[in-house]
């Protein structure tokens, strides 16, 4: 007998990349090369709060101290050296199991730099798996233009609400319930409404967590100034009336 509650997943397509949010804060990233492509790579990793080492010109001496320790034995045996050919640097990374992106050689890349739309905490990456970087940039711009104004600020406010909720309900066992309530809250308000939530509004919103409800925005506004739900004269649709003959 078939399980009618089984979730339907999409068919496996294959040939794609596993797109992840890679946390590289305070990790060391080596960029070999210069020009516009290298500048874009450097900006990407700096935005992720990484420590960047840049090797730019073959005429510029490079101290062994500036290289990752795992590369020192095979890079050069002299106190300083010049930039090795790019294919050699990629080969060294593979030999030492260091993930690498080799510009213009997609087949040698362990990962790709997609075209990224950024709005505060929101990041949307478009990848063509190395087949059409220019097209990825055009698609990214189109997606960015479709998003509502203030979406980054709204996400920031929701993130602050999650932090507040975890402080008052820290037990990991309550995780599923927290997630269900946050989903309900996220679906209850428009982007503009979420951007306009004050710290007081979010504190008042947490009052409704035990009941599992997400109140209408007018209720939160009416609670400003220290009022509690019992003191409000706001119709929330929770009761009705009838007229008898």
What is the tens place of the pLDDT at every residue in 133-188?
889 999 999 999 999 888 998 899 999 999 999 999 999 999 999 999 999 999 99
Please give the average per-residue pLDDT across 111-137, as a whole number. 89
Average pLDDT, the chain: 80
- Is domain 21-113 in CATH 3.40.50.300, yes or no? no
In this structure, what are the phi and psi dihedrals at residue 186, rounded to the nearest 5 degrees? -60, -30
- Provide the annotated active-site residues: 104
How does DSSP classify residue 7? P
Q: pLDDT-based confidence at 111, cuts 50/70/90?
A: confident
Buried residues in 58-95 as b, exposed as e (16+ CB within 10 A):
eeeebeeeebeeebeeebeeeeeeebbeeeebbbbbee
| Residue 169 near residue 178, CB atoms below 8 Å | yes
Model-level pTM?
Answer: 0.66
For the domain made up of 115-147, give the CATH fold: Double Stranded RNA Binding Domain (3.30.160)
- pLDDT score, position 112: 84
The domain ranges of the chain are 21-113, 115-147, 151-231
What is the tens place of the pLDDT at every residue in 29-46?
988 888 888 888 899 899
Does the structure show a pLDDT above 50 at 60? no
Q: Which residue has the higher pLDDT, 229 or 71?
A: 229
Counting beta carbons within 10 angstroms of the beta carbon of residue 185, is it exposed (0 to 12), middle (13 to 18) or buried (19 or more)? buried
- pLDDT score, position 236: 47
Lowest mean pLDDT among 115-119, 136-140, 238-242: 238-242
Cα torsion 155, 159, 165, 171: sign:
positive
């Amino acid at each position: 007998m078939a399980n009618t509650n089984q979730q339907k997943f999409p068919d496996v397509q294959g040939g794609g990349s596993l797109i992840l949010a890679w946390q590289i804060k305070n990790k060391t990233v080596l960029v070999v090369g210069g020009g516009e492509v290298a500048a874009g790579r450097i900006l990407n990793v700096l935005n992720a709060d990484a420590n960047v080492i840049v090797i730019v010109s073959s005429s510029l001496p490079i101290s062994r101290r500036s290289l990752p320790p795992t590369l020192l034995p095979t890079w050069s045996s002299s106190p300083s050296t010049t930039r090795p050919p790019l294919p050699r640097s990629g080969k060294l990374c593979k030999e030492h199991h260091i993930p690498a992106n080799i510009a213009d050689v997609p087949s040698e890349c362990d990962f790709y730099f997609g075209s990224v739309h950024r709005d505060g905490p929101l990041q949307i990456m478009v990848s063509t798996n190395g087949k059409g970087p220019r097209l990825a940039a055009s698609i990214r711009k189109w997606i960015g233009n479709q998003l509502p104004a203030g979406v980054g600020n709204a996400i920031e406010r929701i993130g602050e609400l999650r932090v507040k909720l975890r402080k008052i309900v820290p037990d990991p066992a309550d995780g599923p319930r927290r997630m269900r309530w946050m989903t309900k809250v996220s679906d209850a308000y428009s982007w503009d409404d979420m951007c306009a939530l004050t710290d007081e509004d979010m504190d008042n919103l947490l009052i409704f967590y035990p009941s599992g409800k997400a109140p209408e925005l007018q209720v939160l506004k009416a609670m400003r100034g220290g009022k509690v739900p019992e003191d409000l004269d706001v119709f929330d649709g929770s009761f009705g009336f009838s007229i008898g003959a």
